[in-house]
Structure 1
């Protein structure tokens, strides 16, 4: 999950020496920088996989100085994705005008060009005009021709994450999260969701508001942070985006989800219709309805995906976030939604839910 803005706090001690050398070399090429070593380091709030910092320097003109972004990779998060693949994706995106330019790399991170656009907030996702821009951009993203095998990665990733979660969990935690039951659910979901209507494309897989930037004047959307990006069912990517509307990572309790903010049927239809029509062809009513239903079914996979992510993150990540409570809410929402979406398919266990999360 990506990064969001925060108040200015100088944390130069968090920037590795190798990164500082690259930053000084970059700044020394800019005529208006007073002192290439005088870094202003601003942590960007809300990063849950990496540490992300905005870097700027005092300028001779007193106007806005040059800015870059330093991304320091989180400890232990390679369990979630292949870092080499992620870097290749970033470089390919950069070369093709998608996302920020790559300015430098150091052993545990990289330096990116600063995008002069604002990161979206939670409420932006529900704004009709902004949502329309996201739908169109997401269709463009899904149609990118990216290097690597063009196969759906979701199910193998879920199996791998479940295996890792079981290895890291105490027996009590594994029992509390019903991980043995989740093991039975993954192949069931794969069988039920991988139908003839599945659309495959290059998916972001983490389309929360902090990973979407808007340039106000041109009304252009940029999607950033590709750690989890891969070929996948596009229904999963859209479903994941809808699920993210229940989150607000800028509150005092960023782990708490409010599913009353999940988009209603008409809002989902509108997004899907705009998504399908953005390439110039007007979709039929049945095409829209089919995709809306398929997306809704894929919310189940999203809940398992981020539920397992939360459990693993609790054990490998030092970032201040209540990963376990977040995971509990995602799994709870899975079991609440499952009967409505899958009916009596399979035999779900008796899950006891409590009233602690906002559902």
Structure 2
């Protein structure tokens, strides 16, 4: 990493102004581009950050550099220092693009060529096998001690989200919706304590987890017939079964009009987990000795932690509803996640 660059990429300025600021400063980041004509591209899929890409004319997307601008006050609930550690560490393991530089409200990094998966493709037999194997590799990375020092992150993360919530939404309309659509149904702080007590003795593998493995964070590169995971802002040490359960939740689509009936059935989960466990055994250089009973236990743990995932993102939606400047109905998003949380609790007879 080249170090901190003095860029003022305000998220509220018009897109064309990013071009001016980046052109003025690109020599600090990639000196050989200083006299080149640059092409720019704005990425619009994300709902947390703003992404702007640039590359020289007469070059390919392989040369794109992505400028990532943090969403409004997301530092209240995203550990941005940890995110930069993730990018640097995973780059050293050939699992993330190069980190070029940081600036006051973001950083710039390399680009992984390919396309994001569609929601339905995550349950496709070919793509799901690629994802299962890639996630086995991610979970098998040997982590330095500073990644593990605070223990698995998920419950601490939900608590951090809760602590960042305002006592009331400043807009009366949002407050009214919150009280009638969400608060009348459950108290999220009480639910967190319930889950911590319910899962406190869970004996399950820990490792580096992505924690946000939705379709837009999975890149398929056709030439290599392989997938890569991007956007590691929530990544850290966690329960591996949470990472898997969270991924399975995304089969229904998570942004607009999710259909949680598409959550994979037990047959699919068992097949997916067999591939995952088998790949982990290969990575560790040992025979796959997991019995069908072991896979059943793992599958049960995945389903329990998939419920935790709904609570986490439900609370996240409340935070975004208060702080985000992106035009998106985060309260509706939160309501959908928390409704599914309540339904899945009943299925588990909790």
Q: TM-score, normalised by structure 1?
A: 0.82
Query: Which residue matches 1:122?
Result: 119
Per-residue CA distance 1:18-59 (angstroms, 9 max, x = gap): x444434556526xx9x52x3322111211111012212322
Asked if the contact 1:168/1:315 (under 8 Å) is kept, the reply is no
Say which SS state the counterpart of residue 218 (structure 1) adopts.
coil
**Structure 1 CA distance, aligned partners of 2:346 and 2:234?**
28
Shift of 1:63: 6.9
Residues 15 and 145 of structure 1: CA distance in aligned 2, closer, same or farther (over 3 Å): farther
Say which SS state the counterpart of residue 111 (structure 1) adopts.
strand
Say which SS state the counterpart of residue 290 (structure 1) adopts.
helix
**Structure 2 CA distance, aligned partners of 1:51 and 1:25?**
21
Shift of 1:103: 1.9
Query: Which residue matches 2:213?
Result: 207
Residues 328 and 139 of structure 1: CA distance in aligned 2, closer, same or farther (over 3 Å): same
Per-residue CA distance 1:232-257 (angstroms, 9 max, x = gap): 11111111100111116xxxxx4221
1:232-271 matched pairs, under 5 angstroms? 232-247=238-253, 254-271=255-272
**Structure 2 CA distance, aligned partners of 1:141 and 1:110?**
23
Query: Which residue matches 2:18?
Result: 14
Provide the aligned C-alpha RMSD in A: 2.4
Shift of 1:163: 2.8
Per-residue CA distance 1:203-234 (angstroms, 9 max, x = gap): 11100111111221222221111110111111
Per-residue CA distance 1:261-308 (angstroms, 9 max, x = gap): 221211111111111111234321011111111111112111110001
Residues 218 and 228 of structure 1: CA distance in aligned 2, closer, same or farther (over 3 Å): same
Asked if the contact 1:54/1:70 (under 8 Å) is kept, the reply is yes
Instruction: Report which stretch shifted further, 93-102 or 165-174.
Output: 165-174
Where does structure 2 lack aligned partners over 5 or more consecutive residues?
Answer: 1-13
Query: Which residue matches 1:323?
Result: 330
Residues 324 and 174 of structure 1: CA distance in aligned 2, closer, same or farther (over 3 Å): closer
**Structure 1 CA distance, aligned partners of 2:269 and 2:71?**
34
**Structure 1 CA distance, aligned partners of 2:159 and 2:63?**
44
Say which SS state the counterpart of residue 49 (structure 1) adopts.
coil
Query: Which residue matches 2:8?
Result: none
Shift of 1:158: 1.1
**Structure 1 CA distance, aligned partners of 2:71 and 2:101?**
18
**Structure 2 CA distance, aligned partners of 1:337 and 1:65?**
42
Indicate the structure with greater helix content.
2
Instruction: Report which stretch shifted further, 49-58 or 204-213.
Output: 49-58
User: Does residue 1:278 correspond to 2:279, yes or no?
Assistant: yes
Query: Which residue matches 2:67?
Result: 70
Say which SS state the counterpart of residue 32 (structure 2) adopts.
coil
User: Does residue 1:109 correspond to 2:106, yes or no?
Assistant: yes
Say which SS state the counterpart of residue 67 (structure 2) adopts.
strand
Where does structure 1 lack aligned partners over 5 or more consecutive residues?
Answer: 1-9, 249-253, 346-359
Query: Which residue matches 2:11?
Result: none
Report runs of 4+ in structure 1 exceeding 6 Å deviation. 62-65
User: Does residue 1:50 correspond to 2:49, yes or no?
Assistant: yes
Asked if the contact 2:63/2:110 (under 8 Å) is kept, the reply is no
Residues 105 and 64 of structure 1: CA distance in aligned 2, closer, same or farther (over 3 Å): closer
Asked if the contact 1:269/1:292 (under 8 Å) is kept, the reply is yes
